[in-house]
Amino acid sequence: MTEPSTLTVKQAAQVHAQHIVAGDRTAMQQDCVVSVRQDPPDLYAQLDAMTFERYAVLGHAKIGFQHVFKIRYFGAVTVTLHHRFGAVDGQWCVLESERI
Amino acid sequence: MQKFLHKEQLAREEHIMYIPGAKIFEIRAEQGLPPLALPTTDADFLQNRMHGISVGEIEAMEGAGRTVCDFEEVPWEFTLDMARQVWDESRHTEIYERLLRHVQSKLGEYPESRILWDCACAEDPAARVAGVNRGLEGLACDVFAQLIQLAKKLGDPVIERAVDFVLADEITHVRMGSTWMRKLTEDDPARRQMALDFQHHIDELFNFGGARQEGAADQVSISISREARKMAGFTDEEIDRLVKAASASVAY
C-alpha cells in the first residue's frame, strides 16, 4: 500500500476512485488486497482499458466493520461500481469491486 | 399499468444501496458476525436494526400498494383494506425515518436487501396476504416488541412510544390478513393450504437459520413475542409451531 495508514475509509475510497480515473494501474492494484474479488472477474482489466473523466461517490453503506461505496465513473462509457473496503493490517483496502 | 413488479424495478434514491440479503450475510460471516446484527456483537446494533426496519417499511408500503393494483378479481373491501395499509405503512416510513435521525443515522447508511419485497410476490391474493400480513407482519410484531423492550432498558421513551404506535398497526395488519386469507379461501381448502404453506415458507426464511427464537430481547437477534402475536390473533398452536420451526432451523 502506498497510502498512509492515517487515511479514513472515505478518503481511501476517494483515492481509489482517483486512481481509476487517472488510469494508474499500479496504484489501483496497490489499493486492493491481492485476492480482490471482482465481478465480472476481469473488472480491473476492463477498467484499465476505459477512460474516465470524473467520478461521483453516490453512496456509502456499512456492513459490520466493512464499508461499501457506490461510485459512478463518467467517460465515453459510464459505469457504476460497488467497492467494498475492509481494514487489513491497519489500512483500508479494497476487498471486492463489483459492477452494478 | 405494469403489474407484478420485480425488485430491480423499485425506485430508490441513488444513495440507498441495494445488496442482496444472501450477500450481506456472507460478508458478515466473513467478519465472524451473525447474519443479523445482535446487541451483543454489533456496536451499531440500534442504527442497523432501525435502518433495516425503515427500508422494510418502505417495501411494505410498496408491497401493499402493489397488492391494490395487482389484483382486480377480489372484493372491493379487500382493496380498501390494502389501501388503508399503504397509508399505515407510509406513516411508519415517516416515523422510522425520524427514529433513524434520533439514533444518529440516516437512510442509506446500511444497504437495503429487499428480502421483504421478495416475499411479497405471491401471485394469489390469499397467499399474498398470508405471506405479507401473517408472515412479515408477524415478524414485525416480534421485532417491534423486542425493540420496545430494548428501548425500555435503554431508558429511551421516544423509541419506546413511537414503536408502540407502529406495533399497534402491525397487529391490525395481521388480523386483517388472517380475515382475508380465510375469506378468500373459504370454499377452497386446497387454496387455503397453499396460502398457509407460503406463509410457513416466509416464516422459515425469516427464522434466519435459527437467528429468530424465543429468548431475552438483548440476547437473541430476533426474539419471538408471544404476547404481541397473541394480540395479533395467532393461536398458541401457531406460535408453538413457529417456535419449534425456528429452533429446528439450521444455524447459519
Average pLDDT over residues B176-193: 96
Residues of A in contact with B109 (CB under 8 A): 60-62
Write out pLDDT tens, residues B81-126: 999 999 999 999 999 999 999 999 999 999 999 988 888 888 999 9
Q: For residue B247, count other CB atoms closer than 10 A to its CB.
A: 13
B14/A59 touch (CB, cutoff 8 Å), yes or no? yes
Q: What is the dotted CATH code of the domain comprising B12-248?
A: 1.20.1260.10
* pLDDT over 70 at B252, yes or no: no
Query: Chain B closest CA to A53's CA: distance in Å?
Result: 20
**Are the beta carbons of B239 and B223 closer than 8 angstroms?**
no
Count of CB atoms situated within 10 Å of the CB of B67: 24
Q: Is B110 on the interface with A (CB under 8 A)?
A: yes
A80 part of contact set with chain B, CB < 8 Å: no
Specify the pLDDT at position B250: 55
- Predicted TM-score (pTM) of the model is 0.91
Pairing verdict, β A66-75 and A52-63? antiparallel
Domain boundaries, chain B: 12-248
Q: What residues in A contact B12, CB-CB < 8 Å? A: none
Residues 30-59 of A with CB under 8 A from B: 58-59
Q: Which residues sit opposite A72 in a β-bridge?
A: A56, A80
Q: Where are the domains of chain A?
A: 9-99
CATH number of the domain located at residue range(s) A9-99 in this protein: 3.10.450.50
Cell numbers that stand for A92 in this block: 483500508
Digitized pLDDT (tens) for each residue of chain A, 100 residues in all: 444 468 999 999 999 999 999 999 999 999 999 999 999 999 999 999 999 999 999 999 999 999 999 999 999 999 999 999 999 999 999 999 999 9
Residues 6+ apart with CB under 8 A from B177: B129, B130, B132, B133, B134, B137
* Contact criterion met (CB below 8 Å) for B202 and B212: no
